[in-house]
Amino acid sequence: MNKKVVIGAVVAVVVVVGGILVSKAMRLQSEAAKWSGPVKEIVEEELTREGKETHARYVSMIDGPSDAVLQAIWSVEESPKTVENIKMAKVLESKGDTKVVELNLQALTLPLQNLTTQWTIDREKKQVTFKTLKSQAQDIEALYVVESSPDGKRTRLTYTAVIREKIAVSLPQSVIDSANRETYVNTVRGIQKTVKPQG
Q: What is the pLDDT of residues 15-63, one digit of tens each?
A: 444 444 444 444 444 443 443 445 678 889 898 888 888 899 999 999 9
> Does 23 map to a domain?
no
Asked, for residue 147, whether it belongs to a domain, the answer is yes
Average pLDDT along the chain: 80
Total domains in the chain come to 1
- Asked if residue 55 belongs to a domain, the reply is yes
Q: Is 115 helix (H, G, I), strand (E, B) or coil?
A: strand
**Residue 175's CB: how many other CB atoms inside 10 A?**
22
Is residue 198 within 8 Å of 64, Cβ to Cβ? yes
How many CA atoms does the CB half-sphere of 29 hold within 13 Å? Answer: 8
Alpha-carbon span 197 to 69, nearest angstrom: 10
126 pLDDT band (50/70/90 cuts)?
very high
**Per-residue pLDDT band at 117 (split at 50, 70, 90):** very high
Look at residue 9 and tell me if it is in a domain.
no
For residue 136, give the nearest of 173, 106, 167, 174 by alpha carbon. 167
For the segment 169-195, the average pLDDT, to the nearest whole number, is 80
CATH number at residue 170: 3.30.530.20
In a domain, 109, yes or no: yes
- Domain range holding 110? 35-194
Enclosing H/E stretch for 132: strand 127-135
Q: Give yes or no for a contact between 162 and 69, defined as CB atoms under 8 angstroms apart.
A: no
| Residue 77 lies inside a defined structural domain of this protein | yes
In this structure, the number of other CB atoms found within 10 A of the CB of residue 7 comes to: 10
Whether 161 maps to a domain, the answer reads: yes
% of the chain beyond a pLDDT of 90:
39
Q: Yes or no: say if 83 and 189 are a contact pair by the CB < 8 Å rule.
A: yes
The verdict on residue 116 lying in a domain is: yes
